Structure 1
């Protein structure tokens, strides 16, 4: 049974018991997420608009020079770089989340390289990038379908690690299966952290961003552990040590 309160309480207990390890991974996860928002997890319209504005400014500056013909190559190079970053960071995010999953299951020595050792690094990259592309396209044209797909495909990365025998299509189908009937519960779980995000934003403004970074890093393990605990419940794939 999906119990949001119990899931968050369990996440807080795990966080307190593993505060140093959780924070170390939280720093990396925060840096990866903040540094690559819009390429692996969500489509950032403001980033897109900034990129268009920058491209227009560059075009007007270069139009009067002899280098205007290089613009298409610059865009192509930028697109390739973004794709390479997505390929690298998508599985890295899953590796970090899977570390939290092992921590939530009570493993004494979670292994951050488990995704690589299981031989699913590239499958994880494939499913996370495909899901990001699908969610991004849906969000561009219709916001609600994009949000819906983000919950349907929420756990494709973790499932790809847990079930290396599954094909890519089976991974997507399994994520759809375990979230069926629980997408609103997951939405409420995400929404329940809004107070923390507001608090982080406030202290960030007061401290000129310094405490905002610290607060964001400190909050990351809590939200990540809550997410993997929700996955454990939905997939019914947790050990006796993780039962409440």
Structure 2
């Protein structure tokens, strides 16, 4: 059994022991993972504001073409494109959107996710010794395609569960939470083994992990008040190291604690 105090103490101690490297790795993770996943998720989210944005994207080419023609036309007569031309431009706009989403997904699958696994490996190694920054590139030299495939399916499954209902999506995200850490430890594991292991590790732990996340809310508020400066220099690396300590505790139990005594 673990406690929040135990994990946070170990995470903070390890973070401060290798301060600047941990800050840098956490910053890399924030820029790559949160930025890219937010962009992709934003395209798929359904709400009135996004619906208006999608409608505007589809009709922008048509409106631009009509405006250009009207600006250069003689007289005051307004010119409107025929339905066939509007349909062609609308299809082109949709294709451009699909290509954009596809490019973002490819960027996430082949670059962002492997870097995330490398960052998680850095945090794991950093718990008990000063980890090297080169750990960030770990996935690119250790069964890269297997890591790409497993992380891709993790992203897709989480997204699809989130489309069904918010709560199941959150539950599944916690069930899959340990996948990057497992791959950082065992890059040769099969997809079935990795998903099963993460499910096993998080069995009965999802709510406690959720409460662990909530325990950082006060720090997040302080981070907002400092324009995220405190987040970059303290809160985010502190949280990342605490999450690594959670995996270590779930995977190795009391063994990890005994080795550090």
TM-score if structure 1 supplies the norm length?
0.84
Distance 1:123 1:23, change over 3 A: same
- The residue number in structure 1 matching 2:15 is 15
CA distance in 1 between partners of 2:171 and 2:90 (Å): 41
Correspondence 1:115-130 to 2 at 5 A: 115-117=139-141, 119-130=142-153
Structure 2 gap ranges (5+): 66-84
CA distance in 1 between partners of 2:100 and 2:46 (Å): 13
Q: Deviations over 1:184-233 (max 9, x none)?
A: 111111111011112222x1xxxxxxx32322212211111000000000
Structure showing the higher helix proportion among its residues: 2
Distance 1:95 1:164, change over 3 A: closer
Distance 1:221 1:231, change over 3 A: same
- The residue number in structure 1 matching 2:79 is none
After TM superposition, where is structure 1 displaced by more than 6 Å over at least 4 residues in a row? none
Cα root mean square deviation, aligned: 2.5
Count of aligned pairs between the two proteins: 233
- The residue number in structure 2 matching 1:55 is 54
1:39/1:86 contact within 8 Å kept: no
- The residue number in structure 2 matching 1:147 is 170
1:95/1:112 contact within 8 Å kept: yes
SS of the equivalent of 1:113 reads helix
CA distance in 2 between partners of 1:215 and 1:34 (Å): 17
| Alignment equivalent of 2:106, drawn from 65, 84, 88 | 84
Correspondence 1:100-119 to 2 at 5 A: 100-107=123-130, 109=132, 111-117=135-141, 119=142
CA distance in 1 between partners of 2:238 and 2:9 (Å): 10
Distance 1:29 1:199, change over 3 A: same
Distance 1:39 1:159, change over 3 A: farther
TM-score if structure 2 supplies the norm length?
0.79
Give, in angstroms, the shift of residue 46 of structure 1: 8.8
1:135/1:149 contact within 8 Å kept: yes
CA distance in 1 between partners of 2:19 and 2:212 (Å): 22
Distance 1:44 1:243, change over 3 A: farther
Give, in angstroms, the shift of residue 60 of structure 1: 2.8
Residue 203 of structure 2 corresponds to residue 177 of structure 1: no
Q: Deviations over 1:106-156 (max 9, x none)?
A: 255463232233x23222222222112211221222111111111111011
Q: Deviations over 1:12-62 (max 9, x none)?
A: 11111111111111221221233123368xx45896656543331133332
SS of the equivalent of 1:81 reads helix
Structure exhibiting the larger radius of gyration computed from Cα positions: 2
